[in-house]
Amino acid sequence: MRASHPSLPKRLPAGDGPKMLALAKAYGLQGLKEKDLEGVFPPDFTGAADLARALETEGRVRIISFSPLHLVAREAIEYFEGKFLPYLEKFHSSHVKDRGVAFAKIQERFDIPRPILLLCLKTLVHEGKLREDAGLYALAGFVRELPEREELVLRRIENECFAGNPRSVSPAEVCDKLKLSPETRDQLLDILVERKRIILGKDGFFLHRPWLDSVIADLRKRDRRTISIAEFKEMTGLTRKYAIPLLELLDEMGVTRRKGAEREIL
């Protein structure tokens, strides 16, 4: 789907607002640029930005930039949606193990100017039709399903690596024992993260999500609203090597906040 050269209407509607909207629709996924207003609006016209804001407030356009002015009609975004969502559904059906499709692949397939493509994708994410994770896009309701054999491998990785609490055995060790390639290992771990069975902690180590949830619950049951590193180590059974990164992760999650030598429990 290429952003082709627009076919401008022979007669534009009366009024500045309808005129700009008609131009935006004509330029489609190419987007209407400030230079495209030349010859349509008077040379001394200074109200283009205010006009664009008014149209955006009405939900008719989305503004990409003001200087220079660049906008795209909402109608064009809806056209993209009608093409992209079926494409993504087809991609999921033929790439069941993939988390989503990369932006570069989307850009290659649809050949839309990068700022407009990003805006279209961001709009669909905001509306809950897509999800985006680390540059990969998927339908909001997409869940990766594996063949039964791989589901069994997934459960074995979870059980042997975590078993409800941090363990010394690493996912890499288990995957080596199962003779899984690094690519398959990373894919399966990624699925466990997506299913909220594990979480990637600080410094690249994985934590079992049910165990982490129990740690958070125990923290919030405490009478004192602060906890020291020594107390946290005793509570979790972790060494300082793992306790510090876990506390930093809890800070990022908004569960705790550093307060001097202690953590405040939020």
Residue position matching structure tokens 């990068």? 114
> Which pLDDT score, from 0 to 100, does residue 6 have?
65
More confident site: 247 or 9: 247
Residue position matching structure tokens 């200087």? 67
Contact 189, 206 (CB under 8 A): yes
Kindly report the length of the chain: 266
The residues facing 226 across adjacent strands are 264
Contact 198, 155 (CB under 8 A): no
Distance of alpha carbon 77 from the chain centroid: 19
> Which pLDDT score, from 0 to 100, does residue 171 have?
66
Q: Is there a common fold for 76-139 and 210-265? A: yes
Using alpha carbons, select from 82, 79, 77 the residue that is nearest to residue 59: 77
Contact 8, 116 (CB under 8 A): no
Domain 210-265 fold: Arc Repressor Mutant, subunit A (1.10.10)
**Could you report the per-residue pLDDT of 148-195, keeping only the tens digit for each?**
777 887 787 777 766 655 655 566 677 777 777 877 777 777 777 777
| pLDDT band, very low/low/confident/very high, at 104 (cuts 50, 70, 90) | very high
Amino acid (1-letter code) at residue 264: E
| pLDDT band, very low/low/confident/very high, at 96 (cuts 50, 70, 90) | confident
What's the per-residue H, E or C state across 185-237? Answer: HHHHHHHHHHCCCEEECHHHCEEEHHHHHHHHHHHHHCCCCEEEHHHHHHHHC
The C-alpha atoms of residue 194 and residue 215 are separated, in whole angstroms, by 20
> Which pLDDT score, from 0 to 100, does residue 165 have?
59
The C-alpha atoms of residue 226 and residue 266 are separated, in whole angstroms, by 9
> Which pLDDT score, from 0 to 100, does residue 72 have?
96
**Helix residue ranges per DSSP H, 35-113:** 48-57, 74-94, 103-110
pLDDT over 90 (residue 241)? no
Mean pLDDT of the region 93-102: 85
> Which pLDDT score, from 0 to 100, does residue 5 have?
55
**Could you report the per-residue pLDDT of 19-67, keeping only the tens digit for each?**
999 999 999 999 999 999 988 888 888 889 999 999 999 999 999 999 8
The C-alpha atoms of residue 36 and residue 8 are separated, in whole angstroms, by 11
**Could you report the per-residue pLDDT of 210-234, keeping only the tens digit for each?**
888 888 898 888 888 888 988 888 8
Contact 62, 55 (CB under 8 A): no
The C-alpha atoms of residue 117 and residue 107 are separated, in whole angstroms, by 7
Structure tokens at 27: 């330029």
- Tell me the pLDDT of the chain averaged across its residues: 84
Contact 226, 212 (CB under 8 A): no
The C-alpha atoms of residue 263 and residue 254 are separated, in whole angstroms, by 11
| pLDDT band, very low/low/confident/very high, at 103 (cuts 50, 70, 90) | very high
76-139 has which CATH code? 1.10.10.10
All structural domains of the chain with their residue ranges: 16-72, 76-139, 148-198, 210-265
